Structure 1
Amino acid sequence: MPTPGATDVVNTRDRLLAAAAALLEEADGGDVPTRAICDRAGVRSPTLYHHFGSKEQLLDAVVSHGLREFLASVGDDSSTDDPVAHVREAWDRHVAFGLENPSFYVLVYGRTRPGRPCAVVADLRALMLQALEPVARHGRLRVTPEEAASQIVAAGSGVALTLIAQPPEDRDLSLSAHVRDAILAALTTDPPEGDREPTTATAAVGLAATLTKTPEGFSEAETALLRDWLGRLAGSG
């Protein structure tokens, strides 16, 4: 049962999120003043800072919430067991989010500062890592899932921003598919055929992906050393 006052706290936070989201849509990529957010939510600026720390952190929360809702709404329609196909779908969902929410997407990347990652990047990397880990376990990833996720998110963001900048009537959606397939061809391998053995690098990536916890009989230090060795083998090509 919520403690007294807990509902008010949740409602205030939700009102701030809703107000910021509505104003972002209305601004169409323009600035959203702190005062306008507070007026729309019916609070004073200290309340905004209490819940989010700054206007920038509030806007980050709006975009992250929007991405999670979007991903939940589109779901996973894959009917294949091919793990690489799931990575393709994750790419497509990323680009689709940018095209369907251009104001949010452009705002986040437009506020990028040196040393300060975009708010949406962590969520997108988590989406990609979730899709890439089965690829690694199947021995079909040439680099670590973390490296692959970083490359895929960077390339996907560039594609999304490029498509957003194009007039809708001239938008060439095949660009996304071409870049996606080129990136995946560089990062993944074909399924093993017959008795063909995986390469040392892909086998190392696959084994590393299974080390989600310390194996029985190993100390934490030994597990860390094993991960280091596997990382070196994975980088051997």
Structure 2
Amino acid sequence: MPSDAPPSQDDVRARVVGAAARLLNEHGAPALTTRGVAQAAGVQAPTIYRLFGDKDGLVEAVAEHVMATYVAAKRSAVADTELDPVADLRAGWRLHVEFGLANPGLYALLSNASGRSEPSAATAAGIEVLRARVRGLAAAGLLRVDEARALDMIHAAGTGTVLALLEKPAAQRDLGLVDDLFDAVAGRILAAEPVTSGDDRITTAVVTLAALAPELPGLSDAERALLDEWLRRALAAADDSTGARD
């Protein structure tokens, strides 16, 4: 009578990641030790090193596992072309905060506060989704700042919002802060409607053209690169001019 086949490496890896995710969710980041994870998964500690290289590799795998559904949901929202780009951004902001509050241990490991020198692959994927949202705002002529500045401001404010809320017990959290901070950031980077006059009109026009440049027909790669350089210089000059008036 044939014996049961031993579990595959993929099965063992999935069991270890699942056990680590449960420990992180139930007991927080301090519980995510090699020995604790090995015991919870029913494997020897060397198995973890063989599969993940080190603890950082395990943390990265757990982050990928827990954030997979989250990032997929964000991507599907970006693909919803019928959604207003500002409403799309607000929905993504709320989803980001909800994820952080629901997964405080993982969020701490993924945030800069954990001492990471580089963002995790899961965090980088989320930023790319945010970048797509910002590009949609730029293409609609709604950005008052360049895309890079808008991306940095939204990402920093979103991370700060989650960390500020996590500092307090759940019962003491002011969830009105979520929309208030979004409105504060949006008020700085967004126009209520496409800008056609006033001090912001040049910046908005340049940012919009830069967002649409990849779709312009009839241009060679060299011409697109040259156009990108011209737009960057024009945007820098417009920013300098605005700063001088302020």
Is TM > 0.5 for Structure 1 vs Structure 2? yes
The alignment of Structure 1 onto Structure 2 pairs a total of residues equal to 229
Superposition deviation, residue 73 in structure 1? 6.1
Please state how far the C-alpha of 1:92 moved relative to its aligned partner: 0.8
TM-score scaled by structure 2?
A: 0.79
The aligned residue for residue 69 of structure 2 is: 69
Give the CA deviation at 1:145: 2.8
Mean alpha-carbon deviation: is it higher for 63-72 or for 171-180? Answer: 63-72
Q: Does 1:126 align with 2:159?
A: no
- Residue identity matched to 2:26: E
**Structure 1 or 2: more helix by fraction:** 2
Aligned-partner residue type, residue 188 of structure 1: L
- Greater CA drift, 133-142 or 195-204: 195-204
Match of 2:114 in 1: 111
* Change over 3 Å in CA distance of 1:215–1:17 after alignment to 2: farther
Q: Which residue of 2 aligns with 1:207?
A: 209
Please say which of residues 32-41 and 84-93 is displaced more in the overlay: 32-41
For 1:81 and 1:117, how far apart are their aligned partners in 2? Answer: 29
In the TM superposition, what whole-angstrom CA distance separates every residue of 1:77-101 from its partner, at most 9, and x where no partner exists? x997421111111111111111111
Structure 1 position 72, deviation (Å): 4.6
CA distance in 2, matches of 1:120, 1:166: 26
What residue ranges of structure 2 are gaps of 5+ in the alignment? Answer: 240-246
What displacement does 1:151 show? 1.7
How far the C-alpha of 1:160 sits from its partner, in A, is: 0.3
Shift of 1:206: 1.5
Query: Could you report, residue by residue, the CA deviation over 1:40-82 in whole angstroms, capped at 9, with x for unpaired residues?
Result: 3333444433433321122123223322313556975x99742
Alpha-carbon distance in 1 for matches of 2:110, 2:137: 30
1:1-237 equivalences under 5 Å are 8-70=8-70, 72=72, 76=77, 81-109=83-111, 110-113=113-116, 115-118=117-120, 120-192=122-194, 199-212=201-214, 215-218=217-220, 220-235=221-236, 236-237=238-239
CA distance in structure 2 between the aligned counterparts of 1:143 and 1:137, rounded to whole angstroms:
13
Q: Which letter maps to 2:233?
A: R
Q: Which one-letter code corresponds to 1:111 in the other structure?
A: S
Cα distance, 1:224 vs. partner? Answer: 1.7
Q: For 1:126-184, what per-residue CA distance to the aligned partner results, in whole angstroms no more than 9, with x for missing partners?
A: 22112221111111112333332222111111110111111211110111211111111
> Is the alpha carbon distance of 1:28 and 1:159 closer, same or farther for their aligned partners in structure 2, counting shifts above 3 Å?
same
Go from structure 1 to structure 2 and tell me whether the alpha carbon gap of 1:212 and 1:26 turns closer, same or farther (over 3 Å shift).
same
Q: Which amino acid aligns with 1:49?
A: Y
CA apart distance, 1:28: 2.4
**CA shift digits 1:5-58 (9 cap, x unpaired):** 9x8232222112101101112322424211222233333444433433321122
Q: 1:137 to 1:177 in 2, by over 3 A?
A: same
CA gap of 1:22–1:231, structure 2 versus 1, over 3 A, is same
Q: Percent identity?
A: 35
Instruction: Classify the secondary structure of the residue corresponding to 1:30.
Output: helix
* TM-score, L = length of structure 1: 0.82
CA positional deviation for 1:186: 0.9
- Let me know the Cα RMSD of the aligned residues: 3.0
